[in-house]
Amino acid sequence: MRRVVVTGLGAVTPLAVGVRQTWRRLLDGHCGIKSIKDRSPQFAALPSQVAGVVPIGSRENGGWTAKEWLQPGDERKMALFAQYAMASAEEALNDAGWSPESPEDLEATGVYIGSGIGSLDDVVDTTLAYEKGGYRKVSPLFVPRLLINLAAGHISMRYGFKGPNHAATTACTTGVHAIGDAARMVAFGDADVMVSGGAESCIHPLAIAGFARARSLATDWNESPHEASRPFDRTRAGFVIGEGAGVVVLEELEHAKARGANIYAEVKGYGLSSDAHHMTAPREDGEGPFLAMKRALKNAGIKPAAVDYVNAHATSTVLGDAAENRAIKTLLLGEDGKRHAQEINVSSTKGAVGHLLGAAGAVEAIFTVLAIQEGVLPPTLNLTQPGDPPEEFDCNYVPQTAQQHQVEVALSNSFGFGGTNASICLAKYEK
């Protein structure tokens, strides 16, 4: 099987626009979650009034200004999730030094970007306009802005990539599914290079209302937004919605070596599973995530005992974090009793950025790649008392501050509504 490596990274997150600035702020313990109640009376009437919002500002300072990333006309043509994807793809491709011009290279490069929800703004605004004004009020750009696969579509049009052009939409598992599937396309020879990841931007009152009705969101920290997302903490009580995008350049190993590309890490394995249980609630025993992680390691040919770090999906919900915690322990403690839970290193970066839904898995895969590259475990913010009960939550969750530790092998997990679970195994590249 052809080996697949990561050669470029790009991200737009609530911490910053750009991978380096995001990572620096994450390691420094910054939080990208803020109050959104002043955005409109509709937001102010919702039970959850906090969100991980991409900061507005200049590109130089790690802020978002659409004009600095997009071409004239793009803002009309592309919904915000696709704009974030476009910006992240540009950063990732520059980082990888991959700007092909020959027909062969363009044909060997593909794009695979997913989104969980896409553009609710366009759905709502167009619905209201249509109700009032009828047919003539529907924009010719409505459908292209709406379609999830148009993030990938626009990126391939911009660069002329003629390889696979694909999109997953599997709720909050989207980002990992996109990267995992794309890695398989490279391994199978459908492409030599894949630009892949996830994007999301649906901080809309209707989305928040829906998630709040499903009782998924944190509602107790509207006055202290930085404390709202607290994965693994005893007092966690729901996730915080976030927006952004993560894009990686995946490349066949020999292709990367031949052009002298910088190799961040290798994609060693990918595992998918289903809870087959409930629309939104996990099984308590964490069987779904357990199977996903187990399959990712089997696919990688790596034993559970070799895993140095897990970037958890942990969204800060009572049931989800507990089930994942159980699954991680069941898998990584093994049966020989030699390993103690305290030696298992797992953190959830959602304390800092919230839950980026369809972008979460991609952004977190990037954090995992950087943990491997730099030998540092990113922190779980706001974790003061793991639980409940504390004896169940006895791993090292990297509370509050980053920890230096060599990471050779890591897992990054993502789980979504509908019971879909996935895990990707990333490792230090070794000849």
Ligand X SMILES: *[C@@H]1O[C@H](CO)[C@@H](O)[C@H](O)[C@H]1NC(C)=O
Residues contacting residue 356 through CB under 8 Å, at least 6 positions apart: 13, 14, 52, 175, 198, 200, 242, 243, 244, 246, 363
Is 299 or 345 the residue whose CB approaches ligand X more closely? 345
| Least distance between ligand X and beta carbon 399 (Å) | 8
And the tokens for 102?
């020959």
> Which residue type sits at 303?
K
Contact positions with ligand X (CB under 6 A) in 2-41: 29, 31
Report the nearest approach of ligand X to the CB of residue 410 (Å). Answer: 10
Distance CA 278, CA 341 (A): 29
Candidates 51, 308, 354, 397; binder of ligand X (CB under 6 A) is: 308
Structure tokens at 97: 């030094």
Q: Give min distance, CB of 352 to ligand X, in A.
A: 7
Between residues 84 and 211, which has the closer beta carbon with respect to ligand X? 211
Residue 71 beta carbon to ligand X: minimum distance, rounded to whole angstroms: 36
Among 269, 354, 378, 419, the residue binding ligand X under the rule CB under 6 A is 419
Of 72-80, 161-169, 215-223, 412-420, which part binds ligand X (CB under 6 A)? 412-420
Q: Binder to ligand X among 91, 122, 227, 252 (CB under 6 A)?
A: 227
Residue 34: alpha-carbon gap to chain centroid: 19
Nearer to ligand X, 205 or 419 (CB): 419
- State the nearest-atom distance from the C-beta of 426 to ligand X, in Å: 15
Mapped onto helix, strand or coil, the DSSP state of residue 12 is strand
By CB under 6 A, name the one of 165, 219, 222, 403 that touches ligand X: 403
Single out the segment in contact with ligand X by CB under 6 A; choices: 85-93, 161-169, 294-302, 381-389: 381-389
Minimum CB distance to ligand X, residue 41 (Å): 28
**DSSP secondary structure letters along 232-273:** TBTT---B-BB-EEEEEEEEEHHHHHHTTPPP-EEEEEEEEE
DSSP assignment letter at 128: H
Which DSSP letter does residue 402 get?
Answer: -
Question: What sign does the CA torsion over 373, 376, 382, 387 have?
Answer: positive
Nearest to 4 by CA among 180, 245, 246: 180
Q: What is the layout of strands, in order, in the sheet containing 4-12?
A: 165-166, 109-114, 193-200, 244-252, 4-12, 265-274, 420-427, 409-416, 309-311, 346-347
Instruction: Spell out the residues 6+ positions from residue 192 whose beta carbon is closer than 8 angstroms to its own.
Output: 108, 109, 163, 186, 251, 252, 255
Query: Which residue, 163 or 286, has its beta carbon nearer to ligand X?
Result: 286
Q: Are 370 and 406 spatial neighbours (Cβ–Cβ below 8 Å)?
A: no
In the complex, minimum distance from the CB of residue 297 to ligand X, in angstroms, rounded to a whole number: 14
242 binds ligand X (CB under 6 A): no
Q: Within positions 339 to 358, which residues make up the interface with ligand X, using CB under 6 A?
A: 343, 345
Q: How many residues contact ligand X, by CB under 6 A? A: 29
Of the residues 154, 204, 355, 395, only one is catalytic, namely 355
Assess contact for 364 and 378: CB atoms under 8 A: no
| x/- letters, 136..165, toward ligand X (CB under 6 A) | ------------------------------
When binding is defined by CB under 6 A, the residue of 242, 289, 304, 361 that contacts ligand X is 289
Q: Is 313 part of the annotated catalytic residue set?
A: yes
If binding is defined by CB under 6 A, does position 192 make contact with ligand X? no
Which residue matches tokens 């977190």? Answer: 364
* 288 binds ligand X per the rule CB under 6 A: yes
Asked whether the beta carbons of 89 and 246 are under 8 A apart, the reply is no
Q: Is 239 in the site for ligand X (CB under 6 A)?
A: no
**Segment 258-287, which members bind ligand X (CB under 6 A)?**
275, 280-282, 286
Contact (CB, 8 A) for 111 and 166: yes
Catalytic center residues: 172, 313, 355
Residues contributing to the site for ligand X (CB under 6 A): 29, 31, 226-227, 275, 280-282, 286, 288-289, 308, 320, 323-324, 343, 345, 381-382, 384, 396, 403, 405, 415-417, 419-421
